[in-house]
Structure 1
Amino acid sequence: MSRVIKFTKAGGPEVLEFVETTVPAPGPTEVRIKVKAIGINRAESMWRTDKYVEPVKFPAGLGYEAAGIVDAVGSDVTGFAVGDEVNVIPSFSMNQYFTYGEVITVPVYAVVTHPKSLSFAQAASVWMMFMTAYGALIEDAKVGKGDFVLVPAASSSVGLAAIQIANYAGATPIALTRTSAKKKQLLEAGAAHVIATEEVDLVQEVMRITDGKGARVVFEPVGGPNFPKLISALAFQGIVYIYGALSESVTPLPLLEMIAKMPTIKGYSIWLTSGDETRRKAAVKYILKGLESGALKPIIDRTFKFDDMAEVHRYLENNGQFGKIVVTM
C-alpha cells in the first residue's frame, strides 16, 4: 500500500487529498520507485488549478520530479534493478504518471541514475530547473562568451539554473528581481549583474552593462505589462524565450520596437528536450558533468514533509522562495 496525492476538482491547495492505494506491478517498460524526496514546481500549482498547458483528467495525480530507490522493474527494463538509487526527470504528462506518492510508477525513459554527490533532496531538485534552462540556452540559443543573458524572476529555481548554465557556457547572466532584497543572494549564486526592476530603469541599466548593445537572450517566465521593456533591452535580432506566464495581466507587444529590433520570440517548454530521446540523453550528460564539476549546484530554499503538501503549495504560491522547494519522506 502507498499514500499518493490526488485531486478530484480544480482549486486551491485544499483540494489535494491523500489516498491509500495499492501500487500495481510496473508494466513492461515501467519502473516502480520508493520515493525519498519530491521536487516541487510551479507547473504543479498550475496543474492543480487546471490552468496548465494541457487539460486535467480527473481524478488526477501530480508531480514531475522525485528521487528514491527502485522497488520493482518491468519485464523489458534494462539498466535498472531493484535497490538502485534513481531520479525521475520531467518527461511525461501528469495525466499519465505522477510523483506525489510514497511509492510511484514511472516510464523507464524518465528514470536516471542518482548522482552520487547529491542527497536525495538535492537530486529531486535539479532536473526540472537545469534541463529547462539547458534546452533554451545551450541546445537552442547556444550561448557562449560575449553573450549577455537576461534572467527575469531570477530567484526562482529555473532562474538560478539559468544563471549557473550561462556562467558554465561562458556567457554573462544579468539577474532581474523586483527589489534589492535578494541582490546579495543572486550575486553569490553567480549573477554577474543584478537589476532591481522597481528601483532603477531596466533598459538603461542593461544598456549600461552591455555597452549599448543589449542582451542577446532573454529567458522569460513572467510576461505582463513589463514585457515591452525586455524587447527594448534586447540586442538587435536577439531572442526571447517565453517559458512561463506568472503575470496574470495582458502582455503587450511593442510593435514599432519589434520592427526596429527584429527579435525572435519563442514559446518554450522543457518537453522539446525531455520529450526527445536523443536530446534528453544529451541534456542529462551535460547536467551530470556540470554537477560533478561543481559548476552546477542545487539551491534548495526550504524542505517540507510529505504530510504538509497543502502548505507546500501555499508557500509556493507566495512567490517568496529563493531556489527550489523540496518535500522529503
Structure 2
Amino acid sequence: MDLSIAAILAQDGITTGAVYALLALALVLVFSVTRVIFIPQGEFVSYGALTLAMLQAQKFPPTAILLPVLGAACFLVEAAGLVRHPERRRHAPRLMAGLASRYLLGPIAVYAIARHFYGESLPMAAQLALTLAIVVPIGPFVYRLAFEPIAEATTLLLLIVAVAVHFAMVGLGLLMFGAEGSRTTPFSDASLSLGGVSISGQSIWVIATALVLIAALYFYFDRSISGKALRATSVNRLGARLVGIGTAQAGRLAFTLAAGLGALSGILVAPLTTIYYDSGFLIGLKGFVGAIIGGLVSYPLAAAGSLLVGLLESYSSFWASAYKEVIVFTLIIPVLLWRSLATGHVEEEEQ
C-alpha cells in the first residue's frame, strides 16, 4: 500500500464514518431518552434512500401510503384512549380535532403532494424535502404505536419490541420497494484534488452535512428549551415528570430526530452505494458499534467511535475484503469487556 492508496482509503473511511456517526448519535439519543435500543434505525436509512430513488425515477413512493396508514392507526389508538377515560369525554370534540390535525391531516396532505408531483421532474431540493416529509413522521408514529404503551417496561422487553419492529419494517420495505436495489443521483459531480487525491463532491457533501448536524445537535441540546428537556429526561425520567416535562412528548421528539437523522443518512449514502430494502440494517449496525464505544451515553465518544469504525472498515476492505464485516464487528468485543470491567453493575429496578 502506497501513500496515495492510503489517502483514498482514508477518504472512504471518513465519509462512511460520518454517516455512521449520524446514526450513532441517533441511537444514543433514543436510548438515553427512552431506554430503547433502536434496532430499526437502519430501516429509516433504507426508506429515505429508496423513497428518494423512486421520486427521482418519477415513480410514486409507497412510503407515502404507509405514512397516512400509520397516522390513522395512531388516531384510532388515541381515540380509544379518550373513550376509556370518562373525565376527558367532555373535551372530546376539541381533543378529537387536535388528534385529527396531528395524525390525519398532515399525512394526508403529504400523500396528496406526493401523488400530485411524483410523475414530474422535481428539483433536487424539492425531492429531498418531500422525502424527509414522507419518512421522518414515521418515527414518532412508530413510537406511539409500539413503544409509548410500554414506556415503563424493562429494557429487555423494549429490546424485544424493537426487534419485532425491525422485522416488521424490513418486511414492509420488501413489500413496498421490492428486492431490486437503487442508487440516487449525486448532489454534485464536482471533485476536489487535494495532495494528488481526488475527493468527490458527494463525499464533501456527506462530511460537511455530518459536521453541520453534529454542531446543530450540540447547540440544540445546550441552548434550546426542548433540547434541555430531552437532556433532563435522559438524566432522570421521574425527576423530569415531577418538574412538568412530558416524557411521552420527549420520546416522540427523540424518535422524530432519530428518524430524521436516519432518513438523511440514507439520502447521503445512496449516491455512493446501491441501497436495498434491507441494506439499512447493516449500516445501522455499524452505527450501533460506534454508539457502543460511546457507552450509549456519550455523543462525542459515539461520533469518534463511528469514525474509527469507518476507517477500520475501509482499510479492512483493502487488506482482507472477505472479512471486513467480521473485523468491524469484532471491535465491539474488547469495548464491551473494557466497559464491563471498568464500570459497576447496577441491577435494573423491577417495574
Q: TM-score, normalised by structure 2?
A: 0.25
- Structure number with higher relative contact order (C-alpha < 8 Å, ≥ 6 residues apart): 2
